[in-house]
Amino acid sequence: MAETAMREGRCLCGTVRYRVIGEPLWAVHCHCESCRRATSAAFATYAGFPRDRFEILAGEPAIYRSSPGVVRRFCRQCGSPITYEGERWPTETHIFVCSLDDPTALLPTAHVHTDEQLPWVHLGDGLPRE
């Protein structure tokens, strides 16, 4: 019988800890302006999990409704982004891959919203671009 993957992650200060169980539905680099602003980074790397496979282990994330139908959760103490949830994906929770204790465990498979990518970002990873 195969062992089910269990991964944990946290915010910068460690106040918020979470767990995801199983393999992600997908993992991508997002280049949209909203995600760039939410992370203050050139792009955000997400993995989507079924919502019932995500659980908060410690802390109580704050909620920010960044646009209609979108909820972003973040640490109240240090401000680290934790999740993204949108009406477009009602059964999924999207985590920031680099918030995992071992971010090397999940490999992104594509770039999305590349029409909004910053012109000075040049990544030669060979991944599909949408």
The pLDDT of residue 83 is 97
The pLDDT of residue 4 is 86
Q: Where are the beta strands (DSSP E) in 17-113?
A: 17-21, 26-30, 44-50, 54-58, 62-67, 70-74, 81-86, 92-96, 110-112
The residue extents of the domains of the chain are 6-116
- Tens-digit pLDDT profile for residues 3-46: 689 999 999 999 999 999 999 999 999 999 999 999 999 999 99
Residue 95 in contact with residue 103, Cβ under 8 Å? no
Mean pLDDT of 121-125: 94
What pLDDT band is residue 2 in, cutting at 50, 70 and 90? low
Pinpoint the alpha helices (H) of 5-83.
Answer: 33-39
- Indicate the CATH number of 6-116 among 3.30.43.10, 3.40.50.720, 3.30.360.10, 2.170.150.70: 2.170.150.70
- Tens-digit pLDDT profile for residues 65-94: 999 999 999 999 999 999 999 999 999 999
